[in-house]
Structures are given as C-alpha cells and as structure tokens.
Amino acid sequence: MKNTSPYYTRTAQVLHWIMAIIFIVAWIIGFYSGNFLSYETDGSFKGDVITLHKNIATTIIFLVMIRIFWRYTHPAPSLPDSMSPTMKVLAHLRHLALYLMLLALPITGCLFSWSAGHPAPVLYMFEIPRLLEENYDVLEIVKPLHIYLSWAAGLLVVGHIGAALKHHFIDKDGVLTSMTRQPK
Ligand code: HEM
C-alpha cells in the first residue's frame, strides 16, 4: 500500500502530537526526579513526582500500539525527491529507532517499577497487571537500562526535532507540514 497524499492522516497527526507532548513531559519529570530529587532531602515529594512520571508515561504503551497498527494500515507519505536514497534510508532507520524507543521505554519503566516492588499505574485510574514480583536481580538490570534508554531516546528526539526544523526552514520541502496540515 502506498500513500499518494503529501499529508499524514488526521489520526496519525493527532497520535503523533499527543505522543510528542506526553513523551517530552514524561522525560522532563523523570529527569527531574532522577537527577534533582532524593528521598533523603525531598522525602515523599520525590515519591509523588515518580508516581506522576509513571502515570503519564504508561499511556505511551497503549498509544504506540494503536500508532503502529495505524502506520501499517495507513502508510506514511513519501519522502521528498530532493532527498538522496541514503538520506531516505537513514530517515527510515531513525523513525524505526524512535518506534523501538517508544516501546522499550515504557516496558523497561514498568519492569523497573515492578522489580522494585511498586505498581505501574495509568492516569491514576488503573494499574497495568503486574508481570513480575519484587526482584532485586532484575532491578539491577532494568534500572540502568531504563536510564540509558531514556538518554538515547532524548538524543533521538532532539535529532528528530532538529531534522524537522531543517526540512521546514532550510530545505522548505513540506516534510514538517505533512504532519501538521490536511489537504484543502
Ligand atoms: C516514554 C516513556 C518514558 C520516558 C520518556 C521516561 C523517561 C525517564 C527519564 C528521563 C528518567 C530519568 C533518568 C535519569 O535518572 O537520568 C526516568 C526515570 C524513571 N522512570 Fe521513566 N520514562 C518512561 C516510562 C516510564 C514508565 C512507564 C515507568 C514506570 C511505570 C517509569 C519509571 C521510572 C522510574 C521509577 C524512574 C526513576 C526515577 C528516579 O530515580 O527518581 N518510566 N524515566
């Protein structure tokens, strides 16, 4: 299946921007808690901030599944002809890496929380069924994994935003507007 329109579908656009906001907010809160708060000096406030991080970030796991389904049933618009074949392949690989991060971060986050003996709550409404009991051997693996992945994902997202801005302001090729506009 090939998308002949220069624009993503409205559903794909809405999913993209909602997930972008959730990702950035979850990233900032996780970063703040992990690097600026400690249980010794901030006590229960740190616990509240981590709980907020989890309640926001777990939504990504549901949204990314819908997004992957939508992406396969509604292909993306073609990249501009002005891009070389190598640049197109690199762009696709970077998008694939972003999808993998959107899966890996909430999964390692949940494993992190469960293995430390805590739940994985969603929007303060319900919890993701626990797939793992408290386990410090697993915690030793998934905690650094979640932290390193969060940094790698942060860098990928910064590169993604930079590339989108380059397409818009330097190449002026409509790649950014394919995610913001609909045909008239
Ligand atoms: C897209 C989703 C997610 C993103 C972008 C994200 C990002 C981050 C970041 C940037 C950090 C701080 C890393 C550091 O210490 O430098 C962090 C820490 C953490 N994350 Fe996530 N995370 C996500 C999902 C989750 C989920 C779903 C959970 C659990 C249900 C979770 C649990 C935690 C915990 C417990 C910490 C440690 C916080 C602390 O030590 O104060 N994360 N995350």
Both tokens of 121, joined, read 């709550």
Mean pLDDT of 79-96: 94
Angle between helices 44-57 and 10-36 (to 10 degrees): 160
CB 171 within 8 A of CB 82: yes
Asked whether residue 83 is assigned to any structural domain, the reply reads yes
Residue 58 belongs to domain spanning: 10-179
Domain count, the chain: 1
Angle between helices 136-166 and 10-36 (to 10 degrees): 130
Tell me the per-residue pLDDT of 102-154, one tens digit each, with 9 for 90 and over. Answer: 999 999 999 999 999 999 999 999 999 999 999 999 999 999 999 999 999 99
Asked whether residue 87 is assigned to any structural domain, the reply reads yes
Q: Residue 154 class from Cβ within 10 Å (0-12 exposed, 13-18 middle, 19+ buried)? A: middle
Side-chain-side CA neighbours of 14 within 13 Å: the count stands at 5
**Which are the contacts of 70, defined by CB distance < 8 A and separation ≥ 6?**
9, 11, 12, 15
> Best substitution site from 46, 53, 100 to test ligand 1's pocket, by max atoms within 8 Å of Cβ?
53
Say if residue 1's pLDDT is above 80: no
Asked whether residue 41 is assigned to any structural domain, the reply reads yes
Asked whether residue 5 is assigned to any structural domain, the reply reads no
Both tokens of 73, joined, read 């049933």
Tell me the per-residue pLDDT of 15-63, one tens digit each, with 9 for 90 and over. Answer: 999 999 999 999 999 999 999 999 999 989 999 999 999 999 999 999 9
Asked whether residue 51 is assigned to any structural domain, the reply reads yes
Q: How confident is the model at residue 2 (pLDDT cuts 50, 70, 90)?
A: low
pLDDT value of residue 141: 98
Mean pLDDT, the chain, rounded, equals 96
Cα(53)–Cα(101) distance, integer angstroms: 17
Cα(142)–Cα(150) distance, integer angstroms: 12
Asked whether residue 1 is assigned to any structural domain, the reply reads no
Asked whether residue 94 is assigned to any structural domain, the reply reads yes
Mean pLDDT of 162-179: 94
Regarding the beta carbon of 25 and ligand 1, being less than 6 Å apart is answered: no
The CATH number for 124's domain is: 1.20.950
> Best substitution site from 22, 23, 29, 33 to test ligand 1's pocket, by max atoms within 8 Å of Cβ?
33
